[in-house]
Structure formats: C-alpha cells, structure tokens
Amino acid sequence: MHLVETKVDEVQSRFSDEQNCCPDFLGYTLAQFDAYARPTLENIVGIRFTSNSLNASAELRDKLTLLLFSVLRTKGEYANYTGLVFTGFGEDEIYPRLIPVNVSIVVDDKLRYYIDEGGTAEISELNNGAVRPFAQTDVIDTILSGIDPALDDIYLNNFSALFGKYNELILNAIGESNPELTAQIQALNTRRIVTEYMQMNQGIKQENYIRPLMNAVSTLAKEDLAEMAESLIYLTYLKRRITFAEESVGGPVDVAVISKGDGFIWIKRKHYFKPELNQYFFDNYFNV
C-alpha cells in the first residue's frame, strides 16, 4: 500500500503539467480511462490479489487506476517502445534537423507516443555538428565521451562509497571524545560532493573528447560523414561479436546521405537477393 502511494505521488508530482503529456492523451480524463480499464483491472486484481488471499481494497484499486493512468498519459520510457527517427530538411529550412519519436501502445483508440526531446538535434549557426546514437549506444557513447558509460557509472559509485567510508573512518577515530564534531561530520552533505565530482568529470569529457570530435564532424565532407556513421555501427557489431554478447547489431549496413541540394542519396543499400542473378527484375521494374 505504501509503495503504491509513493509511486502515485511521484508520478503526479513529476508529470502534473500538460507539457509532459503524450499528444494523443491531451484532454483524456481519469473518468474515461476508468470506464475503459476498470474491467481489465478488476480481472488482474482477482488474479494477483484475491487468488493469493490478499486484500485489495477499493482505495487500493483507485490508486492503481490513478497510477496506470498517470504513467500512460505522461512522457517516459515506462514500457517497451519502438523508436522512429525523422531527419532531413523542411521546405523552408536551411539546416537539417533530427527528431526521434518513441511509440509504444494503443489504449482506448489512443496512441501513446511522444518526441524524445533529449535525442533531438538541430544544426544552426550556433551548432555546426551533432552525433546521435540510438538503440545500443554504449560503443558510440564510449567514442564520444572517451569512457565506457558503464565504467563511468562504476567509478562514480565507487567514489561515493569510498567517500562515505572515509567519513566513517573519521567518526571512528573521533569516537565519543567530541560529540559536537561527530554530529557536524554526520550532517555533512556528501551527495553534493559526489555531484560536483560528476560535473567535473563531465567538463573534462566535454573539453577533451566531445567538443573536439564535434568540431571535426562539422568540417567533414559528406562521404566522410557516411563512412564515419558506418564505422560506428560496425564497431558496435564488432564489440558484440568478440565479447560473446548478444549480437543484435550486425550484417550489411544501409548508408544514406541527405543534403539540401541532392536530397536522399543511397551510399550503400542491401538487397534480399543478389542483383547480378536477377537482372530480369530490374528490366521489368524499369519497364513498368
């Protein structure tokens, strides 16, 4: 019960404004959702609670409905989703833009989708280049930032743990000889120090790795950009292969370049058949 109340409070406080609402659910009310989902929810409660001799009060059911409704209508990766990436030029745009959209489920004839604001990119006079990885991003993030994200998290967690252990050693050394000093040390906000450490590391990565790479990307020719994109995908595949991880990246890579003057141009494109063995297909295709 306490866990459900906590989750409801978290979701309501974080996503109370309409700006964080998925577009299709704007104006969609809790009463509408309750009328649609109540039979299904009652069935689930019967399976998970009643059949296991657990009491599911009316108040608990209302809170579960509110939690589901809040999660459903607000932006966030709460469920499995498919990512769609739109990029290119608009009719009146001089520079390209990239807009990723996360699409998940349909509820009550409403599609749950939203723009992933953190993954967008827009080239302008103030931003000359951008690299946006999607799906399995660990290898590309390593190249961009100079350190594997998982290893970076380990360093941060270890620093936080050791910092707390250092405080304990000081407290043990003081003992009960100085209660006032002991209380002051216990009241220290170590989280602020850890946050400052993280920000310092981020500044180093930005200055020594991310910014120089972005400066290089902004000056590359179109064919070099295409080769760079393909190489980043191949490196992701290579790491999966040599570390015996799940090989969800691999095979021939499609490469295309979009420019304002030339439009959409294929650089590499795989076929499900060998073109040289199916010349009749192309003869018939162009004769239609």
pLDDT in tens, 22-65: 899 998 889 899 888 888 887 877 777 766 677 767 787 788 88
Instruction: Give the pLDDT score at 84.
Output: 92
Beta bridge partners of 115: 101
Cβ contacts of 228 within 8 Å, gap of 6 or more: 217, 220
Q: Quick one: tokens of 101?
A: 């959209």
Q: Which residues contact 269 (CB under 8 A, 6 or more apart)?
A: 254, 255, 256
Residue 112 has what pLDDT?
92
Per-residue pLDDT at 257 = 92
pTM value?
A: 0.72
The structural domains of the chain, with segments of one domain joined by +, span: 2-122, 138-268
For 271, phi then psi, to 5°, come to -120, 155
Q: Where would I find the beta strands (DSSP E) of the chain?
A: 82-88, 97-107, 110-115, 121-122, 255-259, 263-268
- The pLDDT, as a whole number, for residue 17 is 58
Which of 107, 132, 80 has the alpha carbon at shortest distance from 22? 107
What does the pLDDT look like over 200-258, one tens digit per residue? 999 999 999 998 998 888 889 999 999 999 998 888 888 887 877 666 666 788 899 99
Confidence of residue 288 (pLDDT cuts 50, 70, 90): low
* Calpha distance 228→267 (Å, rounded): 12
Average confidence score pLDDT of the chain: 83
Mean pLDDT value across residues 275-287: 79
Beta bridge pairs of residue 242: none
Cα 211 from Cα 157, distance rounded (Å): 26
Task: Indicate if the pLDDT at residue 2 is higher than 70.
Answer: no
Gap between the terminal Cα atoms of the chain:
66
Higher pLDDT: 183 or 199? It is 199
**Rounded-to-integer distance, Cα 20 and Cα 27, Å:** 13
103, 81 contact by CB (below 8 A): yes
pLDDT at 154: 92
Q: From the centroid of its chain, how far is CA 51?
A: 37
